Structure 1
């Protein structure tokens, strides 16, 4: 991983294309500025954000906006993504803070033990795909091929991130607090459906200059088959 990071840094310095290969377990935190239980989970995600073996992302949901503070980072489509997981797992409702590990299991996001246990299980699971992403000035070149058991089709998704955001909360359950957020999701694009019997090669336009994650998943709420993060 150190060699990959060095290569990426060099490419950025020279203004050339940036290449990244399979890297880390995806951890999705569903959080809200209006949730008093969420700051410990936000801090836990921040601790994971710089790890080489984790792709940590924060998705802000909008269903707590009615209690006094509107989360300006929330989008209804992130709430819908969380509801998709709940439906797949036959859960009765959604909640914050929740961390979803590898698209396969959801745990209370403020419980470090539960989070680490879930991550340990999935860290030892080999990815069934080989995934490579090249970032150029005009977008991404995504290549994927199956190397294990995979569903007949998989969804290729491009996630835009803001590395760090600070908010002063004036009302609601967190009134008076200043909260730092890491790896905040600011955009989510379904880039295409991959028929996995054949290798995939996709060109995806991108106008986002910040970090980006490519996620290949069994649908929108199934297990994550592979993921790559680029700076």
Structure 2
């Protein structure tokens, strides 16, 4: 009788263990599925950098590592080379006054200082661009706590220009679609300034950026002048919808050639 009860107790305990294990496994399997299905997050990383800044190369290098690490995820990197370092000994060939103006706009919306290397994530948060822990944390937060407004992009190359077709449903008057021509990787041998003698490698370099109002039209075509020695494997198009008043980026996508 005692043996029978022991057997019954053992069988019951084994049954409960199996049920519990099944429930636990089901829960652990469902959690990431639910996160994925309910969330369509993205992260846009905008780095403000310069070849004339000695503290910028680590941030440039980090962007290259992030690009490789998140190549299959909706993480979009744009490196804006600013021009205000150019009068301090070395002119950055990738720099432009437009890039500096974009950083100044962020300075107003984010109430931040203008400095390099500065990283802005989804138009809402800024910090030093070489801070790996801050970058990783910001990416994870963005991927799991944002919803990506859909943007459809396609690009075609002709003899003299690049034509980009776009389509979205975001037609709020404060939103603009920014379409950017990006060079994936390049390098420079710096001969003067703070980085004199260094061979600098850059990733995701912004060359041209077109801003399109979505107030009257949510689809259309924009074009870029074809860069010299253009190779379709070395360039890509990144588009993002941004609220011009708050600076918040609502959605992003990219297109290859």
TM over 0.5: yes
CA displacement at 1:175 relative to structure 2: 0.7
Stretches of structure 2 that go unaligned for 5 or more consecutive residues are 1-39, 227-231
Query: What is the alpha-carbon root mean square deviation over aligned residues?
Result: 2.2
Rounded to whole Å, the distance in 1 between the matches of 2:245 and 2:53 is: 25
The answer as to whether partners of 2:42 and 2:147 remain within 8 angstroms in 1 is no
1:35 and 1:187, CA in 2 relative to 1: closer, same or farther beyond 3 A? same
1:173 and 1:220, CA in 2 relative to 1: closer, same or farther beyond 3 A? farther
The answer as to whether partners of 1:81 and 1:220 remain within 8 angstroms in 2 is no
Aligned pairs for 1:181-196 (under 5 A) are: 181-190=202-211, 192-195=212-215
Structure 2 partner of 1:40? 58
Q: So what's the TM-score if we normalise by structure 1?
A: 0.80
Higher helix share: 2
Stretches of structure 1 that go unaligned for 5 or more consecutive residues are 1-21
Rg (Cα) greater in structure? 2
CA displacement at 1:135 relative to structure 2: 2.3
Structure 2 partner of 1:3? none
In the alignment, structure 1 residue 110 sits paired with structure 2 residue 97 = no
Higher strand share: 1
CA displacement at 1:220 relative to structure 2: 7.5
Rounded to whole Å, the distance in 1 between the matches of 2:138 and 2:172 is: 23
Q: How many residues align?
A: 203
Rounded to whole Å, the distance in 1 between the matches of 2:108 and 2:244 is: 13
In the alignment, structure 1 residue 213 sits paired with structure 2 residue 242 = no
CA displacement at 1:188 relative to structure 2: 1.0
Rounded to whole Å, the distance in 1 between the matches of 2:118 and 2:221 is: 33
